[in-house]
Amino acid sequence: MVRPYVIADVFTDVPLQGNPVAVFTDGSGLGNEQMQRTARELNLSETVFVLPGDDAADATIRIFTPVTELPFAGHPILGTAFVLGARRAVPVVRLRTAAGVIAVTLTREDEQTVFGEMEQPIPSWESFARADELLSALGVDGSELPIEAYCNGPVHVYIALASEVAVASLAPDLGALAELGKLGVSCFAGSGGRFKTRMFAPALGVAEDPATGSAAGPLAVHLARHGRIELGQQIEIRQGAEIARPSVLHARAEGSGEKVERVLVGGAAVVVARGEYRLA
């Protein structure tokens, strides 16, 4: 079975930066094991398999890390929307995921897609029960905001550090982090509308992620809930510099009072490779 695929670098407009994703544009007929083994073979943080859509979605997608399937993830959705949007020349791509239908609005300049913005599931949140173990694994003394876990499909836990230098200097015990379970650990610092993050998810097969779209939306919610930004304020998130994959993400949480009504995350993407796999 010869299957074409595209590799896009996401949350960047510069090739070989951002977060790469492999998009198999025809995943029909592939079984769970074939998809998982293919994702392990490619060894990117995520690999996407595109399946037929329905009345509400242009396509259905399945998202795999090297070790597990995810119900939702940001950069695979944005990268897939860029790939399918270029083929179909449509302004909005709707992708059905295990977390529901995600709409991605595409902005074009000179017939090229230059930006995409997805509306993410509104996350739930709760205090993280194993905060002391988490801080120990990170090698830090504490967090400037409550340590909370947000779920919008995957689970991300947020630790606010005092400075961007503190974030850049992190050298976590990845084995200890993995023992905390299948979650992402997002460490951040910043102010106003600009923040620096690093995200570690060793139990998901990703030691450190260059750009984490599924963590960007909940970060905006977390900051708004704790008074660091206003609801409706867009933030810029920079990630990936420490692993030589600099990325830029944009996120905002909209609502009124303390109620979050929409979560949006956007960025650029660029196709860097095309090829085919022969899958037995």
pLDDT tens sequence across 136-158: 999 999 999 999 999 999 999 99
Q: Do 53 and 32 reside in the same domain of the chain?
A: yes
* CA dist., res. 95 & res. 56, Å (int): 9
Q: How far is CA 97 from the centre of its chain?
A: 14
The two structure tokens encoding residue 278: 């022969």
Same domain (yes/no): 12, 43: yes
Band of the pLDDT at 249, cuts 50, 70, 90?
A: very high
Q: How far apart are CA 136 and CA 266, in angstroms?
A: 33
* 1 vs 229: CA distance, rounded Å: 50
Angle between helices 74-88 and 213-225 (to 10 degrees): 120
Q: Are residues 188 and 231 in the same domain?
A: yes
Q: Across the chain, where does the E strand assignment appear? A: 2-10, 19-24, 46-54, 57-64, 69-70, 92-97, 100-109, 112-120, 124-127, 148-151, 155-160, 184-191, 194-201, 206-209, 235-239, 247-256, 259-267, 269-278
Q: What is the mean pLDDT of residues 98-115?
A: 93
State how beta strands 57-64 and 92-97 pair: parallel
Are 75 and 188 part of one and the same domain? no
pLDDT above 90 coverage of the chain, percent? 94
Residue 50's domain spans which residues? Answer: 2-121+267-278
Pair (128, 244) in one structural domain: yes
Residues 186, 149, single domain; the answer is yes
Q: Are 58 and 84 in contact (CB under 8 A)?
A: yes
**Two tokens, residue 107:** 């902005």
Residue 166 and residue 41 in one domain = no
Task: Count up the domains in the chain and report the number.
Answer: 2
Q: Give the model confidence (pLDDT) of 191-232 as tens digits.
A: 999 999 999 999 999 999 999 999 999 999 999 999 999 999
Q: Which of 78, 102, 57 is nearest to 8 (CA)?
A: 78
Instruction: Summarize the chain as % helix, strand, coil (round to 5).
Output: 20, 45, 30
Give per-residue burial for 241-266: e unless 16+ CB within 10 Å, then b.
bbeebbbbbbbbbbeeeeebeebbbb
| Parallel, antiparallel or unpaired: strands 19-24 and 2-10 | antiparallel
Count of alpha carbons within 13 Å of 93, Cβ hemisphere only? 27
- Tens digits of per-residue pLDDT, 8-64? 999 999 999 999 999 999 999 999 999 999 999 999 999 999 999 999 999 999 999
CB-based contact 48:65 (threshold 8 Å): no
DSSP SS3 for 271: strand
256 has pLDDT over 70: yes
Question: For 249-259, what is the mean pLDDT?
Answer: 92
Q: Are residues 10 and 96 in the same domain?
A: yes
What pLDDT is recorded for position 280? 63
* Amino acid 111: pLDDT: 82
Q: Which two tokens stand for residue 241?
A: 């510099």
pTM: 0.95
pLDDT averaged over the chain?
96
182 and 115 part of one domain:
no
148 and 230 together in one domain: yes
Which helix (H) or strand (E) covers residue 164, if one does? Answer: helix 164-168
DSSP at 210: S
My answer on whether 151 and 38 are in the same domain is no
Report the CATH number at residue 80.
3.10.310.10
- Look at residue 88 in the predicted model and tell me its pLDDT: 80
Across residues 177-189, what is the average pLDDT? 97
Q: How far apart are CA 268 and CA 182, in angstroms?
A: 28
Same domain, yes or no: 133 and 243: yes
Q: Which residues are known catalytic residues? A: 46
**pLDDT confidence band for 237 (50 / 70 / 90):** very high
